């Protein structure tokens, strides 16, 4: 909220150091998915059209402070030029950056320099000498305090690029100052990977839907015997503690009341609906792979009252239909309400994005974050160094 956007900057004649995420998948020297590259186009064009010069700073892979030829950003140059519809000059090293600066240039993989991941001040000063303004459009790297995301931001007038601006605005609307009631779906495989997320959310939400494999751990902690379902006995106490925190904070927790149960973890496997709850007892070879129809109805009723919804983690093993049923149904309910204009819906997480795409609702949600770790850390309530350095 304290951060500036490009709207606040005077760009004419200014050299802008623009941190981007173009860490795209490459096979045999060719970019196989240019989504990340395409998403930076509005920011680059905005700066150029307002008379600014752009030096793109980006990482590629994990070269760990050494020059690794296979991780050269040179290989993404053609895809970048294609997306932007213009030539992009390439700067093979910091030393090659002379005074004659092209209007648009891409600097070699910033992680070739040990100073980058060390967030080294001297290295950041070397970078700062190449620009007048710093602009960060790489929210997905904002959870790391690296020279190009943190130290550099403190050396120059700094702002968020268009992508970062959209992401921060969406995340602030979802969690920092949401329209209430605000609820979340937290699903996925394991409680152990989402403890910080659950603990932060129960203190901020009105409703929390727990789904997926992690719901098994909650149900088992209450006494259910779920056969060979995925669950984490070491986290029963954590689950109970999260429920106690929720109760104290006035957050209603919705656990599955029924599930799709199968003996096989396979596509199209024979399955039945089983009631779930603290007294549930499945056969030793049965497992819960999705939430059942009554649970979906319960979730949809809860959605009806919400003004804001956060979603991380599928409600079942969505990769193997029909165990995507609950996720798809709930996602479509959230999408319909978002289209009506009565819900702000924000989702993120690698598998969540895939599941929402599978449900065909990716364009209907208010915002879908592809930022992975940075999205999760934001939802955990952590301060992201790259955002803090922008004044956020």
Which amino acids are annotated as binding site for ATP, given as ranges? 194, 319, 349-352
Instruction: State which of residues 47, 242, 289, 306 lies at the interface with ligand ADP (CB under 6 A).
Output: 289
| Residue 103 CB partners (closer than 8 Å, separation 6+) | 48, 53, 54
Q: Is residue 79 within 8 Å of residue 27, measured between CB atoms? A: no
CB-nearer residue toward ligand ADP: 109 or 217: 217
Is 36 one of the catalytic residues? yes
Alpha helices in 134-251 (DSSP H): 162-171, 195-202, 212-221, 236-249
Judged by CB under 6 A, the stretch of 131-139, 153-161, 245-253, 307-315 that binds ligand ADP is 307-315
Question: How far is the CA of 4 from the CAs of 144, 157, 375, in angstroms?
Answer: 20, 9, 20
Concatenate the DSSP letters of all residues of 143-161 into one string. Answer: TS--IIIIIGGGTS-EEE-
**Active-site position among 19, 36, 39, 53:** 36
Closest CA to 318 of 329, 310, 309, 333: 329
Min. distance of Cβ 302 from Mg ion in angstroms? 24
Judged by CB under 6 A, the stretch of 15-23, 46-54, 91-99, 350-358 that binds ligand ADP is 350-358
Min. distance of Cβ 326 from Mg ion in angstroms? 17
Q: Which residues are annotated as a binding site for (2R)-3-phosphoglycerate?
A: 36, 111, 144
The Cα–Cα gap between 278 and 307 comes to: 30
Min. distance of Cβ 170 from ligand ADP in angstroms? 17
Is 13 one of the catalytic residues? no
CB-nearer residue toward Mg ion: 250 or 350: 350
Structure tokens at 142: 């904002």
Q: Is residue 344 within 8 Å of residue 179, measured between CB atoms? A: yes
Q: Is residue 9 within 8 Å of residue 133, measured between CB atoms? A: yes
CB-nearer residue toward ligand ADP: 53 or 194: 194
Q: Which of residues 102-161 bind ligand ADP (CB under 6 A)?
A: none
**Active-site position among 65, 372, 373, 381:** 373
Instruction: State which of residues 319, 321, 366, 380 lies at the interface with ligand ADP (CB under 6 A).
Output: 319
Count of residues in the chain: 392
Instruction: State which of residues 38, 172, 351, 380 lies at the interface with ligand ADP (CB under 6 A).
Output: 351
Instruction: State which of residues 52, 115, 256, 314 lies at the interface with ligand ADP (CB under 6 A).
Output: 314
The Cα–Cα gap between 213 and 234 comes to: 14
Closest CA to 62 of 112, 124, 123: 112
Q: Looking up tokens 């602009």, which residue turns up?
A: 135
Question: How far is the CA of 89 from the CAs of 37, 73, 82, 197, 308, in angstroms?
Answer: 16, 12, 13, 42, 44
Is 162 one of the catalytic residues? no
Q: Looking up tokens 């160094």, which residue turns up?
A: 385
The Cα–Cα gap between 153 and 167 comes to: 18
Rule CB under 6 A: say whether 288 interacts with ligand ADP: yes
Q: Which of residues 316-375 bind Mg ion (CB under 5 A)?
A: 350-351
The Cα–Cα gap between 86 and 41 comes to: 11
Min. distance of Cβ 169 from ligand ADP in angstroms? 22
**Active-site position among 190, 252, 263, 382:** 190
Q: Which residues bind Mg ion (CB under 5 A)?
A: 350-351
Catalytic residues: 36, 190, 350, 373
- Interface residue list for ligand ADP (CB under 6 A): 187-189, 193, 212-213, 230, 288-289, 312-314, 316-317, 319, 349-352
């Amino acid at each position: 909220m304290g951060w500036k956007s490009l709207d606040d900057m005077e760009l004419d004649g200014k050299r802008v150091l623009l941190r981007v995420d173009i860490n795209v998948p490459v096979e045999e020297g060719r970019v196989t998915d240019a989504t990340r590259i395409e998403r930076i186009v509005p920011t680059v064009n905005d700066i150029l059209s307002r008379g600014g010069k752009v030096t793109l700073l980006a990482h590629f892979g994990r070269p760990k402070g050494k020059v690794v030829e296979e991780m050269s950003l040179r290989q993404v140059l053609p895809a970048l030029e294609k997306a932007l519809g213009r030539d992009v000059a390439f700067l093979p090293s910091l030393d090659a950056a002379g005074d004659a600066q092209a209007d648009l240039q891409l600097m070699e993989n910033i992680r070739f320099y040990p100073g980058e991941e060390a967030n080294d001040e001297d290295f950041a000063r070397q970078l700062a000498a190449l620009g007048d303004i710093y602009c960060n459009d790489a929210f997905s790297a904002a959870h790391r305090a690296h020279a190009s995301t943190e130290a550099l931001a403190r050396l120059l007038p700094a702002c968020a690029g268009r992508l970062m601006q959209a992401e921060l605005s969406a995340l602030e609307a979802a969690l920092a100052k949401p329209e209430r009631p605000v609820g979340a779906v937290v699903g996925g495989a394991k409680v152990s990977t989402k403890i910080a997320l659950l603990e932060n959310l129960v203190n901020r939400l009105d409703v929390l839907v727990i789904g997926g494999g992690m719901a098994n751990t909650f149900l088992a902690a209450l006494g259910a015997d779920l056969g060979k379902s995925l669950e984490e006995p070491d986290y029963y106490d954590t689950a109970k503690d999260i429920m106690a925190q929720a109760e104290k904070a006035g957050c209603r927790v919705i656990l599955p009341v029924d599930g799709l149960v199968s003996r096989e973890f396979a596509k199209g496997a024979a399955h039945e609906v089983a009631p779930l709850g603290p007294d549930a007892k499945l056969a030793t070879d049965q497992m819960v792979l999705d939430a059942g129809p009554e649970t979906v109805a319960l979730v949809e009723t809860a959605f009806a009252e919400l003004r804001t919804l956060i979603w991380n983690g599928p409600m079942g093993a969505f990769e193997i239909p029909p165990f995507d049923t609950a996720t798809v149904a709930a996602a479509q309910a959230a999408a319909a309400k978002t289209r009506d204009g009565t819900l702000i819906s924000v989702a993120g997480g690698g598998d969540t994005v895939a599941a929402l795409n599978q449900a065909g609702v990716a364009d209907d949600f208010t915002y879908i974050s592809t930022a992975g770790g940075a999205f999760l850390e934001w939802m955990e309530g952590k301060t992201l160094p790259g955002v803090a350095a922008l004044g956020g």
